[in-house]
Amino acid sequence: MTTQSTAELIQQFKLSRLLNQDQNGRRITLLGTISSLPALLTAERAAFPSDLPTLLAFHSALTQINNIGTNDIYNWYLASSGPTSQGPPDLKLNLIYPCTDKHVKKYSPQTLRMVTETPEIYKEHVRPYMQRQRDAGRLNWVFNIIEGRAEQEDVLLRDAGIGAKDGEDERFLLTPDLNWDKKTLKNLHLLALVERRDIWSLRDLRKAHVGWLKTMRGKVIEATVKLYEGIERDELKLYVHYQPTYYHFHIHVVHVMAEATSTQATGKAFGLENLISQLETMAGGPEASMADVSLTYYLGTASDLWNEIFLPLKEGGKV
């Protein structure tokens, strides 16, 4: 078969149906026929260019730019990458403006290292680091959502809980993750944000919180299957990040068939059900907590946690 005739096969392909869609919609597999014989056609979007002139041309060619959300320094858009106005947008754009050095480090390529954070390291070094991040105003966008100043059109559930009890508020809200397209159910990604501000990360979870966590888990799953017809309870995966991107306790809710990126990997994601079980079986009374155990996870070598805490500890120096 000649090269020309081989290329013509694509034009002869007659579509029957979409067979599969994966990699967050960037790859599709189509079932069809060529000359009445069954055929499979897989299409995958090419990688973005990396040379500066082509990137400049790519940026200049963006059209149909439509803002779909803004919160503090974060902005989200849909756009088209070609000059035509026909068809739906093929790009989702995230703009951070003004960005910080921490953002630049987060999105830059970097080597990963595994670290073990003991209760002592957490108390003496990591907890003060968390406090500094909170004091720097890095949670403004989270509080904007909780307090009703931004993204309210995206709030799927605002659960009243049982209100404040002994100074502990059980209210939470459910909202789509910013990186989900809000359409592809197999890529579903939601966030459950608690309203209380005394729990910064899984380190603050105590044995006394088991009942609250179980109740919240049940409500989140129930709300999700009601909101998204076709999703069943056992198709949902709930987990917590450590270290999290921001120090306000939140739970990730994803479809079990969603592509497992590095954010769902061992060393980053801790299953909610496993955390609950660990707290239930933990020795001690109601105040026994996740702050009392050692946690192993990975860090990027450009991160402040690595450079300010774990690298000096590795080299035997002072933090």
Catalytic annotation, residues: 250
* 172 contacts 195 by C-beta, under 8 angstroms: yes
In one-letter notation, the amino acid at residue 107 is Y
* 74 contacts 96 by C-beta, under 8 angstroms: yes
Residues 6+ apart with CB under 8 A from 59: none
H helices present in 24-124, as ranges: 52-60, 101-107, 119-121
What SS3 state is found at 166?
coil
To the nearest 10°, the Cα dihedral for 81, 83, 86, 89?
Answer: 20
H helices present in the chain, as ranges: 3-12, 52-60, 101-107, 119-121, 127-135, 140-146, 210-227, 272-281, 304-305, 311-314
Distance from chain centroid for Cα 2: 47
- Residue 172: Cβ-neighbour burial (10 angstroms; 0-12, 13-18, 19+): buried
* 92 contacts 114 by C-beta, under 8 angstroms: no
